[in-house]
């Protein structure tokens, strides 16, 4: 991290692990449950949120001294909504099937608590460069969990990764399926996503006991 000072790199690295928005702050759970049945939508969602949060953080940070504090929530909402519409339109133009699959959840990025949370807690009080790094870090922390959950759910639930049949063909009975393995249908259902997130939280906290709160 020669490019960044120690303080700056902390802004990015902290939310990846010890201050992760999903596993530590338990924010943004709804989308983490809804779109992680496959790996590809998880990654697209992660990228979208990285874009919205980093750019949004910079915009809010630049305007922080001229936003009247009484109407700051409305201003923040307009910024997020604009960015989300950009993401939505880009997806519709260049990845229509994916945009169909993610359906309403791209629009619902607006309501993702992580975004408003970072605007309020960080961008309103810090400069654009720091806010940019904070946005990248938090969105990446969110995306990281999404990708981990998506990886396990797609692998165990459908036997594929990015749609490739990595475990063999379940209809033709090749690979693992030849010896009797079967996909776990529970993995595709949202409740299992919650349990997978719970397991990640468990693993993380048993590796780092300081994270356990009473």
**Least distance CB 212 / another protein (angstroms):** 14
Place of tokens 């994916």: 98
Q: Which residues contact 188 (CB under 8 A, 6 or more apart)?
A: 37, 153, 157, 158
Q: Which is nearer to another protein, 29 or 98 (CB)?
A: 29
**Least distance CB 147 / another protein (angstroms):** 22
* Residue-wise DSSP of 117-130: HHHHHTGGGS-HHH
Q: Which is nearer to another protein, 6 or 207 (CB)?
A: 207
> What is the SS3 assignment for 161?
strand
Q: Which of residues 169-188 bind another protein (CB under 8 A)?
A: 180-182, 184-187
Q: Which is nearer to another protein, 78 or 195 (CB)?
A: 195
Q: Which of residues 118-137 bind another protein (CB under 8 A)?
A: none
**Least distance CB 178 / another protein (angstroms):** 13
- What span, in angstroms and rounded, lies between the C-alpha atoms of 49 and 35? 13
How many residues are present in the chain? 214
- What span, in angstroms and rounded, lies between the C-alpha atoms of 185 and 31? 20
Q: Which is nearer to another protein, 1 or 199 (CB)?
A: 199
**Least distance CB 184 / another protein (angstroms):** 4
- What span, in angstroms and rounded, lies between the C-alpha atoms of 110 and 74? 12
Side-chain-side CA neighbours of residue 72 (13 Å) = 19
Is 167 one of the binding residues for another protein (CB under 8 A)?
no
Tell me the number of residues near another protein by CB under 8 A. Answer: 11
Q: Which is nearer to another protein, 115 or 192 (CB)?
A: 192
For residue 164, the cross-strand partners are: 161
Q: Which residues contact 213 (CB under 8 A, 6 or more apart)?
A: none
Q: Which of residues 14-73 bind another protein (CB under 8 A)?
A: none
Q: Which is nearer to another protein, 127 or 198 (CB)?
A: 198
Q: Which of residues 191-210 bind another protein (CB under 8 A)?
A: 195, 198, 202
Q: Other C-beta atoms within 10 Å of 180: how many?
A: 7
Applying CB under 8 A, the residues found at the interface with another protein are 180-182, 184-187, 189, 195, 198, 202
């Amino acid at each position: 991290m020669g490019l960044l000072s120690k303080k700056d790199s902390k802004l990015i690295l902290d939310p990846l692990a010890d201050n992760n928005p999903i596993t530590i702050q338990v924010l943004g759970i709804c989308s983490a449950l809804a779109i992680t049945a496959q790996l590809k939508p998880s990654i697209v969602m992660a990228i979208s949120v990285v874009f919205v949060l980093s750019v949004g953080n910079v915009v809010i940070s630049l305007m922080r001294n001229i936003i009247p504090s009484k109407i700051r929530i409305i201003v923040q909402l307009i910024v997020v909504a604009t960015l989300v519409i950009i993401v939505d339109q880009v997806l519709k133009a260049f990845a229509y099937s994916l945009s169909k699959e993610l359906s309403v959840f791209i629009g619902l990025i607006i309501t993702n608590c992580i975004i408003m949370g970072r605007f309020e807690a960080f961008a309103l009080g810090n400069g654009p460069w720091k806010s940019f790094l904070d946005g990248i870090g938090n969105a990446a922390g969110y995306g990281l969990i999404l990708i981990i959950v998506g990886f396990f759910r797609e692998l165990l639930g459908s036997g594929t990764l990015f749609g490739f049949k990595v475990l063999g063909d379940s209809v033709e009975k090749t690979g693992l399926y030849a010896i009797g393995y079967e996909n776990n249908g529970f993995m595709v259902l949202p409740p299992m996503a919650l349990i997978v997130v719970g397991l990640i939280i468990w693993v993380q906290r048993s590796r780092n006991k300081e994270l356990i709160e009473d």
